[in-house]
Structure 1
Amino acid sequence: MGIMNDTFEVAKGIYWVGVIDWNLRDFHGYATPKGGTYNAYLIIDEKITLIDTVKAEFAPEMIEKIRRIVNPSKIDHVICNHVEMDHSSGLPAIMELAKGAKLFCTKRGKAGLDEHYESGGCGNWDFEMVDTGYELDIGSRTLMFIETPMLHWPDSMHTYLKDDHILFSNDAFGQHLATSVRFEDEVECGAIEDAAIYYANILLPFGSKVLKYADKIAELGLEFDMIAPSHGVIWRKDPMRVVDAYVKWAKGETVPKVLVIYDTMWNSTEIMAKEIVEGISEGGAEAKLFHLRKNDWSMLLRELMSSPVIAVGSPTMHSTMFFTISGFLTYLKGLRPKGKGAVAFGSFGWGGGAVKHVEEMMVSAGLEIIEPGLQVKYRPYEADLKECRELGVRLAELALERSE
């Protein structure tokens, strides 16, 4: 097994010099219960090349790993695939040591680095701006750059080591996963599910860009023996598996499944949710029930990717929806899932409002309202429960139709 050490060699002359963040539990609102990594890669050739850096607080650890291989001052090239701070905020520290290094990034990458790090010495860095097809000879090997705008920032690019067929893919194909092994095939049960959770919470809005990228790598005739992302583990056993999975997720392929997502105050909305689930099962589709204060939103998004239909239930509070429902739908709005049918349901006391506001937020999140909202006053009685079950049956039928 490839147990992590301070000079881990990914392939001959190519070293992982990243760091493991065992205690990472939140990545700008996306839950990361398994921790994470910030990966950087050092290539030893005639021109010593560092691909990406790490989050600033971990820069000393990265630099110490590099020192055990080569004096950082001898680095000739630094490649910045992406400006986001978890990959670039270690740049000032490494550029201070590698004063003669040339820094390679896209045109938009330079603009972003100028904005972030001018006061950190960025104005003195030796930039080389690149685009798709630009090749860099580092001695016995050649690197090629591929622009990947909006996967997931405008500046993003990938670096392809032509001779070894290794793709350094930055945020694409990553996972938030802290582990002492560096290869995906060494992870118990693999990492494809972690990659799916990552995709659902980071790349879901960019499906059309993913498909264009897949076309581009086919057009360029690229072959991958490894895909080395900037988070998580490296894909080396049939690495096209994760590319194929991205294409599947980008196309929005679904199965006959309905998510029932809700919160409740005095159990009326919960009773409705459970009856809807019963109806979905009767209708022949799979049902998944999620209480928003008892389930993590980030994991829920993985289920949403493969579900063509969702039902969202809320009690009325202060004439509007419950705050957790509002928060979840706001989160969903940012991810803009496509091709999802939706229905709202809920309960109220002396005055309604929740169902109407849920429907409005659903529409703003790009969901299609497929059934009129269902609401009950105070608590559901037998006639209400019957309506809930019947709604569930109809949702199952719609899920079956949409997954054909």
Structure 2
Amino acid sequence: MSFKVTDKVTWVGKIDWELRSFHGEEYSTHRGSSYNAYLIKGEKNILIDTVWQPFAEEFITNLKKEIDLNDIDYVISNHAEVDHSGALPLLVKEIPNVPIYCTSNGAKNLKAHYHEDWNFVEVKTGDTLDIGGGEKLIFIEARMLHWPDSMMTYMTGENILFSNDAFGQHYASDLMYNDLVDQAELYQEAIKYYANILTPFSPLVIKKIEEILKFNLTVDMIATSHGIIWRDNPTQIIEKYMEWAKNYQENQITIVYDTMWNATRKMAEAIAEGIKSIDKGVTVKLFNAAHADKNDIITEIFKSKGLLVGSSTVNKSIMHATGGILDMIRGIGFKNKKAAAFGSYGWSGESVDILNGRLKDGKFEVINDGIKELWNPDKDGLERCREFGIDFAKKL
């Protein structure tokens, strides 16, 4: 499959309808994904990125239908991660001397991945490549968005920003453009992508977008490396990134728990009742960490102003699903969010203190000492949980 993006630019990537996890098992892809590569044809012919290695042979076969590989003048590698560079080894076997434009970190990473010293041309922000017809490519380094080697490439004349991972989504669609797909699905996948992958680099997101804006580039299209292409009001996603990067939160509280015999679940539900009793407008979402998708939970925490985490005490510790989410939270580095802990116990009761410590490690503002209930909370215990929810809501 290929299709014309413009008269000069053709999409030559791969839609992966079956993909259900990414980065190993670290990221869920409920709606599949795509690996977007682009072929520019003109006085000079340029290939921008490739696809993941399992689809390398298919990619090369399809690319040959679009162009004689020997007519490719340059390859642009915006990012060395294998989902974008996976077909490069097979491509370079066909055209071994083709110049590969990338950042200095890109060259290092590609060498480390494939152990080949290809014809690398290292570029930095502001460098240009004349591609004929009065048009040129402008390179913009995007370090840590989301790898040290990442960059974007802007094509003058067509006014296309090839943004690689930035502004993308893991979202398979044969419609391929933002104005054609379901908007709820699109933004659900876009915010999930930002929350789970780009949140740790939010200060750099702001800095990089401000730097790009100083170029005063006209952007008629943002051609991402995953998901759809932004062509209708394409800068809407840039505006969203700026919003998401600034300690984003909605009027939402998320409650995450794991439970052995439903006592901690009952506590979570009572706490939610307490919150809603004094704030009808707040969105409260409950997730059992052992059953819910971890990346969906992270997305909801990203959207929230407050987080409550609960766990039964087991073997003087917390349950592993709750612990796993808290480890993810610590790595992501959320800002400007308040939190508290709760849990049931049988005899030793360490879980709440452990949860408090983990929340503090995740840079949450822990607003109280938490609440714990012995065994299965009775009527009075559930009322204490409701009051705990009321107090938490009042302090947000």
**TM band (smaller chain):** over 0.9
- Amino acid paired to 2:126: G
TM superposition score normalised by structure 2: 0.96
State the partner residue of 2:276. 281
State the partner residue of 2:42. 45
TM superposition score normalised by structure 1: 0.94
Q: Aligned with 2:132: secondary structure? A: coil
Q: Is residue 177 of structure 1 aligned with residue 168 of structure 2?
A: no
Correspondence list, 1:7-86, <5 A:
7-28=2-23, 29-86=26-83
- Amino acid paired to 1:384: G
Q: Aligned with 1:223: secondary structure? A: coil
Within 2, Cα distance between the matches of 1:69 and 1:27?
Answer: 29
Q: Aligned with 2:183: secondary structure? A: coil
In structure 1, runs of 5+ residues without a counterpart are: 1-5, 400-404
Q: Aligned with 1:345: secondary structure? A: strand
Within 1, Cα distance between the matches of 2:176 and 2:58?
Answer: 17
- Picking from 167, 180, 190, the partner of 1:186 is 180
Cα deviation, residue 36, structure 1: 0.7
State the partner residue of 1:139. 132
Cα deviation, residue 391, structure 1: 1.5
Deviations 1:348-399 (A, max 9, x none): 1021111111112112222221111111111212332222111211222233
Deviations 1:315-361 (A, max 9, x none): 01111001111111112122111111110100110211111111121
Cα deviation, residue 189, structure 1: 2.8
- Amino acid paired to 1:24: L
Cα deviation, residue 62, structure 1: 1.4
Is the CA contact (8 Å cut-off) linking 2:340 and 2:370 kept in structure 1? yes
Cα deviation, residue 142, structure 1: 0.6
State the partner residue of 1:402. none
- Picking from 307, 310, 313, the partner of 1:313 is 310
Cα deviation, residue 145, structure 1: 0.3
Deviations 1:159-198 (A, max 9, x none): 0012111010111011111111221211123612211111
> Number of residue pairs matched?
390
- Amino acid paired to 2:360: V
Point out 4+ residue stretches in structure 1 off by more than 6 angstroms.
none
Deviations 1:91-116 (A, max 9, x none): 11111112231110001111111111
Q: Aligned with 1:344: secondary structure? A: strand
Deviations 1:23-58 (A, max 9, x none): 110112111011111110000011110001111111
Q: Aligned with 1:186: secondary structure? A: coil
Deviations 1:259-306 (A, max 9, x none): 111111111101100010001111213211111123211112222122
Within 1, Cα distance between the matches of 2:39 and 2:326?
Answer: 42
Q: Is residue 167 of structure 1 aligned with residue 161 of structure 2?
A: yes
Is the CA contact (8 Å cut-off) linking 2:290 and 2:322 kept in structure 1? no
Correspondence list, 1:153-302, <5 A:
153-189=147-183, 191-284=186-279, 285-302=282-299
Within 2, Cα distance between the matches of 1:261 and 1:182?
Answer: 35
Q: Is residue 377 of structure 1 aligned with residue 370 of structure 2?
A: no
Is the CA contact (8 Å cut-off) linking 1:256 and 1:396 kept in structure 2? no
Is the CA contact (8 Å cut-off) linking 2:2 and 2:13 kept in structure 1? no
Is the CA contact (8 Å cut-off) linking 1:257 and 1:396 kept in structure 2? no
- Amino acid paired to 1:74: D
- Amino acid paired to 1:155: D
Q: Is residue 368 of structure 1 aligned with residue 365 of structure 2?
A: yes
Deviations 1:94-141 (A, max 9, x none): 1111223111000111111111112xxx21x21110001001011122
Within 2, Cα distance between the matches of 1:256 and 1:184?
Answer: 27
Cα deviation, residue 255, structure 1: 2.3
Q: Is residue 130 of structure 1 aligned with residue 127 of structure 2?
A: no
State the partner residue of 2:329. 332
In structure 2, runs of 5+ residues without a counterpart are: none
Q: Aligned with 1:260: secondary structure? A: strand
Larger CA deviation: 229-238 vs 177-186: 177-186
- Amino acid paired to 2:316: S
Is the CA contact (8 Å cut-off) linking 1:309 and 1:398 kept in structure 2? no
Within 2, Cα distance between the matches of 1:226 and 1:74?
Answer: 26
- Amino acid paired to 1:332: I
Within 2, Cα distance between the matches of 1:65 and 1:398?
Answer: 58
Within 1, Cα distance between the matches of 2:357 and 2:163?
Answer: 38
Q: Aligned with 2:313: secondary structure? A: strand
- Amino acid paired to 1:23: E
Instruction: State, as a whole percentage, how many aligned pairs show the same letter.
Output: 42
